[in-house]
Structure 1
Amino acid sequence: MARQGNRTALAALAMLTMGATAPAPVRIEPVPADRPPQGPSLPLHVGGRGLIQGDVLRRQWPGSYIEAGFADDSADLRIGPGDVRLHILVDGRPAATLVKPKPGLYRLTGLGKGQHRLRVEVGSESQAGATLLGGVYARHPLPVRPRARRIEFIGDSHTVGYGNTADGQTCTPDQVWDTTDTSQGIAGQLGRRYDADYRVNAISGRGVVRNYNGFAADPLPAAYRYTLFDHDHAADDRGWRPQLYVVALGTNDFSTALHQGEAWADRAALHRDYETRYAAFLRDLHAANPRAHIFVWATDKADGEIAAEAGKVVEQLRAQGIADIGFATLKGLSFGGCNSHPTVADDRRIADAVAGYVDAHPTLWSR
């Protein structure tokens, strides 16, 4: 059975879990509503797509994070409405986790004197709606420089980290939310391994042309065009040039049987549509950023159908002259997470496969 959150406590205040490896006994406490922040709003380094509105990040794609620098022993963090799990890191070390925190201003104390880099990572998925994060306030701001290495992850629940920290496969919807942690998935693992900035453009249940069991919603390539899932803001990726795209799409296209009334007369028609659209999507990525490498991976689920179809797409692109593209089929994963999804250990095996490609092409970081 998956770990179940204490919903009574969550409804009252943020649940704070102190990290044993924190550099100091960091404390996070709500600031009374009538008190202002202790300093000016700090410049934010933002990971992931989102809308900067004043000093606030409005975001919905998973794996978002903000970073700020300052030279103080305390700082304030504002959190807006929306259910979210936030990992707080100080100088690269875990300090606390806030689970469904109430909106408001929170003060971090006990950081120690000196220069600090605060990072706030979103671990949970936010399909139901956007959430607000920021700003960060301190008396003595310091700049935070973007990292030289950049990776973009595109996919479905396997990329999100759906239920990856669960103790078993049987989960309620609440337990899925409780045990989903993108920061422990492949994006977080590879970001830490290569000290890379990253974006996660992935939605659980979405496919290339068909979503899980045929449910109606934007497939991933359609949703990819937008900053949020409401279609109100076209994605603006100016200034974001990853050296590597890590893409995995197809599980939801092929893991369930076709139903009467769907757009495809048979499996062969679904294959043709998937191959055409997936190839076009990857070509669009290449055309927008031709110096980047693309690494496509797939599991061996659905009797190998997912990997076979994704492999055909990669071969098609290679035949069309796109050389910097790799492919791997991930075999032997436990799928011991919620509803037979990859676990954190499985995510590590996937990350290792990506790292094998990266380490075989070390010059990709210089592009």
Structure 2
Amino acid sequence: MYFEGRVSGTGVGIVLNDSAADYDVQVDGTTVATLVTPGNTTHWINGLSNSTHTVRLVKRNDTPGDTSTFGGFVAAPGGAVLSKPAARNRQIEFIGDSLTVGYGNLSTSRTCTWDQVKRNTNSDMSYGALTARQLNADYQINGYSGLGMVRNYDGGRSDVTYRTFYDRALLNVSGDVWQNPGTWRPQVVVVNLGTNDFSTAVKPGEPWTPDNFAAAYRSAYGDFIQKLRTRYGADTTIVAVGAGQYAGHVQQVVKTRNDAGDSRVRYWFLDDSGLDFLGCDWHYSARDDRLIADRLTPFISGLPAGW
């Protein structure tokens, strides 16, 4: 999540009410402050040259159990909040789990406390954010750590999956539905869900056997692609990412869609060669995120995205 604005004058205030998430504040392309669980505050960046500045606020980590409130930018005395920057012509949506969020990607150790995970997660340096910037696209990262398409990490929370939360704006409010203002019409949607589904073995007591679990995953994946197709229309290209144990299943889902006449569903194999997985708990490091973005960007550039 990020917000961009323009102000004139020698300072800008960022109005926030969030005791759970961390934020970076960027002025004229440079990070000038990191706000760690800022609470209910107006954080001021002062001492700027008396001129026009761009300001960007970016939420670094996923905090699905809490509500984050951004109250806007305010100008220092003598300055003014100017008209908003023009929206970019390109829009990309990234859907996934902790690997898409950027979980622990700034860490120098795979072993992290929960507090270290939060401090060392930076979605602005995730492969999705980096890919979008390389393509000069506005983007959404819709990621939820630990959740899968039909099965969560180690079979946890069997009553919910990622799909339970996709429609929501406030993830901690059951029944909440995000209302698209009509301006979000992504030409490309990238789906990377399956690591949590397959990274741990199905255990006794779960609602699947090892045999029918993969079929349930493929069926739910196909339904989710249809949901995206209905939401965004026939012209949006949906990129289904395959990696590790779930790559072949995703490939089958894409082939089924293609055979049914939907050529704008594309398969992309996430090549993990050269990745060090040095982020917290064996997640992507910031270096890995850059490598993945450098591999994904040319693939998306080659799509008939209509931009």
Structures share fold, TM-score greater than 0.5: yes
- Whole-Å Cα distance in 2 between the matches of residues 186 and 341 of structure 1? 12
Q: Does 1:320 align with 2:260?
A: yes
Contact 1:149 1:365 in 2 (8 A): no
Distance in 2, matches of 1:324 and 1:352, equals: 22
> Structure 1 length normalisation: TM-score?
0.77
- What per-residue deviation string (whole Å, max 9, x for no partner) do you get for residues 212-263 of structure 1? 1111152112210111112242122232101111110011111111122211
Counterparts of 2:193 and 2:237, CA distance in 1: 17
8 Å contact from structure 2 (residues 18, 37) kept in 1: no
What amino acid maps onto 2:254 in structure 1? V
Check whether the contact 1:283–1:317 (CA below 8 A) recurs between aligned residues: no
Aligned match for 1:349, one of 283, 291, 307: 291
Q: What is the Cα deviation at residue 131 of structure 1?
A: 1.7
Report the CA distance between 1:365 and its aligned residue. 4.5
For 2:224, the equivalent position in structure 1 comes to 281
What amino acid is aligned across from residue 228 of structure 1 in structure 2?
A: L
SS in 2 for 1:98: strand
Asked if the contact 2:135/2:297 (under 8 Å) is kept, the reply is no
Task: Classify the secondary structure of the residue corresponding to 2:163.
Answer: helix
TM-score (structure 2 length as normaliser): 0.92
RMSD over aligned CA atoms reads: 1.6
- 8 Å CA contact retained: 1:328, 1:353: no
CA pair 79-334 structure 1, distance change in 2 beyond 3 A: same
CA distance in 2, matches of 1:133, 1:353: 33
**Uncovered stretches (5+) of structure 1, i.e. residues with no partner:** 1-63
Q: Which amino acid aligns with 2:7?
A: F
Q: 1:79-228, aligned counterparts within 5 Å?
A: 79-138=16-75, 139-144=79-84, 145-216=86-157, 218-228=160-170
CA distance in 2, matches of 1:95, 1:188: 19
Cα deviation 1:281-307 (Å, max 9, x = unaligned): 01221222221111122322xxxx211
- Cα distance in 2 for partners of 1:93, 1:210 equals 40
Question: 1:356–1:201: structure 2 CA closer, same or farther, 3 Å change rule?
Answer: same
Q: Does the 8 A contact of 2:22 with 2:59 survive in 1? A: yes
- What letter is aligned with 1:95? V
Give the letter for the 1:219 counterpart.
T
Provide structure 2 residue ranges, at least 5 long, that are not aligned to the other structure: none
Among candidates 306, 324, 331, match of residue 272 of structure 2? 331
Q: Is 1:296 equivalent to 2:236 in the alignment? A: no
Whether contact under 8 Å (2:27, 2:55) holds in the other structure is yes
Amino acid at match of 2:160: D
- How far apart in 2 are the matches of 1:247 and 1:322? 16
Matched AA of 2:138 = D
Contact residue 209 and residue 219 of structure 1 kept, 8 A: yes
Alpha-carbon distance in 2 for matches of 1:107, 1:256 = 46
More moved, 156-165 vs 236-245: 236-245
Aligned equivalents of 2:137, 2:149: Cα separation in 1: 27
How far is the alpha carbon of 1:82 from its aligned partner?
A: 1.7
Q: Is the 8 A contact 1:82 1:132 kept in 2?
A: no
Identity %: 31
CA distance in 2, matches of 1:185, 1:324: 25
Give the total of aligned pairs.
Answer: 297
Shift of 1:101: 2.1
Distance in 1, Cα, partners of 2:65 & 2:29: 30
State how far apart, in whole Å, the 2-side matches of 1:331 and 1:67 are: 33
Report the alpha carbon displacement of residue 140 of structure 1 after superposing the two structures with TM: 2.0
What per-residue deviation string (whole Å, max 9, x for no partner) do you get for residues 146-204 of structure 1?
11111100001110001111112111211111211111101221222122111111101
